[in-house]
Structure 1
Amino acid sequence: MKKLGINNPMEIRSNLNYDDVARYLNTGRNKPNESNTYSGTLELATYAKLENTIIHHDVIDAIFRQPHTSVTKPFKANRIGNGPVINAVDYDLGRNGSAYFDTDTADYHTSGKPGVGNKGHVYRNDGVDISKDSTKYESYYVDHIETNEWTQYTIQVKIPGVYSLSLKVASATDDAKLSVLVNNITQAKEVAVPNTGGLKNGRLLL
């Protein structure tokens, strides 16, 4: 199974020229020129090759494993050594309430219930809201965080010991707070997150 979109086991990567073609086919407006149409379609065909697709392990896990268990598993091998970086979007694989908690987990339009799931429609296909950072290449961040929402990360340390944690945060409000738990034990409670002037203005929180 492979097609455009993150809600597939294998995603065919689109491109700007083909996006223009698709918009024109759907709306009949802003007809793209012939050269852009040609190059965009050929580029899409290249990305349709098996080796060029984006494998969405979270979709595969949600289809085959998660219906039968609430056990979580790592999305990536987060090995802690000297100065590693764990991206917020690489939280564990698992059900809502087990690997993460989000108040809006899916699009329930078929049942009449409101909801959109991942509001950014990028990177992963579950309830956590993820956006792409347009200022960096292939960079993503968790956003639209609401009260009591959380994400879980499984990590491995090379050497047992005491480690310090720095968080890169961004906020457009003055009342944001976060807590950090390790093995379900609170290590930092309701730490104030400063207003950084926008979600793309990250700041280190020590």
Structure 2
Amino acid sequence: MIKPSDIASRIKNALPDISIPTLGREVKLPVYVIHNSLDSEDYFFIFDFEQFVEQTRAGVFVRPALTVWSGRSDFRRSLFARQFRESFAREFDIARAQLAHSDKKPRGWFGFLSGTFLELRGANLSAFLANLVLLVATSAGTKVLSHILPKSWLSGKSDTSKLEESIEATQSKVDVALENIQIRLHEELYNHAYRDGGRGKRAQLEYDAWPLPGYVRQHLNDGASGAWW
């Protein structure tokens, strides 16, 4: 099994050329994997963006710390990684759009690079920034990535082409990290996942985990990913 330190090293070494900002304090970014049925591949995500968004609203480049809670972990990691990344990017884009229409100009992670790429579609820029946030959030708490774009950034291509290449490059690194991220098993999510019968192994459940937040319980049966903040 790949060690978290090896993942962080592989990610960092693969992406040279533009420095990311100096990061402030660590902010937890909990994610809850909610199973709709007994099918191990049938699940959705609830993202808790609240602290992360509030710090960004204040113009702070925080160090996001990703924690993934689930009721089971016997799903395909490659599929999980892609779905997680795509869902996160959608929710990030929604949060960025809402901040853009607020009284305060988006700063921090949600405003990073915006002035540089004003001519680009917001969705592209949001996808790029969401990938960057996930790279930092999955760096296993070791060294923060110091560079984010491939060498082709300096090759004279259009800004749109450069950004598309950057998104593609970071996506593969995010997927590697997410495939190997720790899945923490929560008893309440376990009971929800197996509510229709059958039981999985309980040995890895974290019995001392805090109870699920009220908003998570409220949306256990929604069936669709979302950020409730």
Whether TM exceeds 0.5 here: the answer is no
More helix by share: 2
Q: Which has the higher contact order (CA 8 A, sep 6+)?
A: 2
Give 1 or 2 for the bigger CA radius of gyration.
1
TM-score, scaled relative to structure 2? 0.22
TM-score, scaled relative to structure 1? 0.24
